[in-house]
Structure 1
């Protein structure tokens, strides 16, 4: 006796589990993709954030002195006789007793220290260091500190800034941080032009130096955008040389007077 074929509806019902199984696998894959993206942390941003919170929570507690209820108010003549105390002004830790010759010698010593710290990179032509009796100029490529088109320092940049801060810390020399870009246009919500990008990068390096213990009164940050090139912008090598951050370390202590 010939067996009867099962109805097509029965076959369809038996295979419906495949649809549910495929949906489950797709959702599981999407879940792991989301979990991976959430777990990918920008370590550079994390360190900046952690340093900021540490500074806030470790700061000394400040409170206003309460006014005792019932204390008589001072009369106008008495108020006028009170000594007016001017607000405290934070100044750079300058030492006016140091002679120009001693300052020039100290500047040469700092230049020698920086040359030792970046000896390999200087020999490879990645970093350049120039010096005279008034200035040290340390030229760092943007790729050593930042990703393309961004002003957030990547993780390796903290080691570079730490080396520089170890040389500059506990001194009084003024430090000017300059940012430069190539002529490739950038138009984003954060950086409408290369001026904003170069300034943000210079400010980021100045902030990192401050986080490493360099006094902020000694620091200044300025961005030049694409308008102070070292090389021609019509070649890739020229554009690479133009994308840079320059640290100018002055022999003098006054950041406002250190004009170059």
Structure 2
């Protein structure tokens, strides 16, 4: 019995090398799999790399004159001189003509937006809109904004002024607000004449627009009283047309440059 047990143990010990050999073969197989994976070319990445290198080497020349290695260009650009390197100047700004044209185009877009927003009021005749390459004239009847003899905007006026502010807020265009009255005299403690009334109405519009987000530095308020009528004052219809607030929206950003 003892001899048999010893022979079984000897046979078991002799076959232990198979375990180590199997582990070695497994590791070797894994090694070759990894090496194959690393050496496999990703066609998509190779294509991107190829196109990138092609674009770099085929890119157009970006300097006025190429500089050879070891040479320093002179001030005259001949490659000889006192060693001062001049970089090419790139024009970063538009010409004045193209800049003005761009602002005129933006002004027309703004006019189209106002026309769309106030289409119903324009059809009713209580709002008029005139445009040119240099300015927009938006005329609002006083009935949209104020009560008779009053310079405090009524409730419905805020919706109108909010709409205007929404159109103007993304630009830097200068805005001049002008107040006008009819020729009927007014003598109150607050408004001794139509001068004060028209100016107070223009200032009230400016104040609301500033609250709605328009930069105050862009705006000015002016009162003309009864002295710039657009219709006769001997009829109610004419007087109604003369009682108005006009917003002059300039193509330019300077408020002092808003002229007609």
TM-score by length of 1: 0.62
* Other-structure match for 1:29: none
Q: How does 1:96-175 map to 2 (within 5 A)?
A: 99-175=99-175
CA separation of 1:198/1:96 partners in 2, compared to 1, >3 Å: closer, same or farther? farther
* Other-structure match for 2:247: 247
Q: CA deviation at 1:170?
A: 2.4
Partner Cα distance (2:181, 2:225) in 1: 5
Is 1:194 the counterpart of 2:197? The answer is no
* Other-structure match for 1:222: 222
Q: CA deviation at 1:240?
A: 0.3
Which consecutive residues of structure 1, in runs of 5 or more, have no partner in the other structure? 1-94
Is 1:233 the counterpart of 2:233? The answer is yes
* Other-structure match for 2:208: 208
TM-score by length of 2: 0.62
In the TM superposition, what whole-angstrom CA distance separates every residue of 1:34-76 from its partner, at most 9, and x where no partner exists?
xxxxxxxxxxxxxxxxxxxxxxxxxxxxxxxxxxxxxxxxxxx
Partner Cα distance (2:187, 2:258) in 1: 33
Partner Cα distance (2:204, 2:154) in 1: 11
Q: How does 1:6-17 map to 2 (within 5 A)?
A: none
Which consecutive residues of structure 2, in runs of 5 or more, have no partner in the other structure? 1-93
* Other-structure match for 2:86: none
Tell me which of the two structures has the higher relative contact order, counting C-alpha pairs closer than 8 angstroms and 6 or more residues apart: 1
* Other-structure match for 2:65: none
* Other-structure match for 1:18: none
CA separation of 1:196/1:100 partners in 2, compared to 1, >3 Å: closer, same or farther? same
- Larger-Rg structure: 2
Partner Cα distance (2:211, 2:103) in 1: 25
Q: CA deviation at 1:257?
A: 1.9
**Root-mean-square deviation (CA), in Å?**
1.5
Partner Cα distance (1:223, 1:155) in 2: 22
Contact 1:170 1:214 in 2 (8 A): no
Q: CA deviation at 1:96?
A: 10
In the TM superposition, what whole-angstrom CA distance separates every residue of 1:85-104 from its partner, at most 9, and x where no partner exists?
xxxxxxxxxx9987000000
